[in-house]
Structure 1
């Protein structure tokens, strides 16, 4: 059970990192356009 939870936390952190990276790229592209 605890192993499953740690796996979920790992996936969650990876997804969050990916989302923030995508947001950062989109924001930097918008800033470059201005």
Structure 2
């Protein structure tokens, strides 16, 4: 695997985790 593909995979994984935590934060904000 070349470095660019590796970087994109790591970045994509980070984006998924970030979006998940962002959604959870929005949901918890709406409850209060």
Interval of TM-score (by shorter of Structure 1 and Structure 2): 0.7 to 0.9
Structure (1 or 2) with the larger CA radius of gyration: 1
Q: What are structure 1's unaligned runs of at least 5 residues? A: none
Aligned residues: 32
TM-score norm. by structure 2 comes to 0.85
TM-score norm. by structure 1 comes to 0.81
CA RMSD of aligned residues (A): 1.2
Q: What are structure 2's unaligned runs of at least 5 residues? A: none
